[in-house]
């Protein structure tokens, strides 16, 4: 997730001596208003298999169970339906 804007980052000085670069990004530097539409189109066409990214689907009324399964490590990603 995104850390608080006040969060500090501690980097070992040796990393700077090795000519490393630190580059920040949000959403992988994507452009959500265009990229999300492209990703949705890939899913609709069958080119991208979203089911491989989802462990389980639950109804919204089962939200507490879904979070419990994710906290326990049993599941990683749950999609809630309405």
- Assess if residue 24 is contained within a domain: no
- Assess if residue 40 is contained within a domain: no
> Which tokens hold the place of 79?
């999609």
Angle at 29 between CA 39 and CA 44, to 5 degrees: 0
pLDDT at 60: 97
Q: Which domain holds residue 61?
A: 48-82
Q: What pLDDT digit, counting tens, does each position of 24-79 carry?
A: 887 788 888 899 999 999 999 999 998 888 899 999 999 999 999 999 998 889 99
- Assess if residue 77 is contained within a domain: yes
For tokens 């980052």, name the residue: 9
Going along the chain, which residue ranges are E strands? 56-59, 78-81
pLDDT at 26: 79
- Assess if residue 30 is contained within a domain: no
Three-class secondary structure of residue 43 per DSSP: helix
Q: Per this entry, what is the length of the chain?
A: 82
- Assess if residue 53 is contained within a domain: yes
Q: What pLDDT digit, counting tens, does each position of 1-30 carry?
A: 678 889 998 888 888 888 888 888 877 888
- Assess if residue 29 is contained within a domain: no
pTM given for the model:
0.48
Please provide residue 79's backbone torsions phi and psi, each rounded to the nearest 5 degrees.
-100, 130
């Amino acid at each position: 997730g995104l850390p608080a804007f006040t969060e500090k980052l501690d980097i070992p000085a040796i990393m700077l001596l090795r000519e490393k670069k630190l580059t920040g990004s949000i959403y992988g530097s994507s452009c959500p208003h265009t990229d999300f539409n492209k990703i949705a189109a890939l899913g609709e066409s069958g080119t991208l298999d979203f089911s491989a990214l989802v462990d389980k689907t639950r109804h919204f009324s089962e939200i507490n169970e879904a979070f419990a399964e994710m906290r326990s490590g049993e599941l990683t990603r749950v999609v809630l339906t309405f």
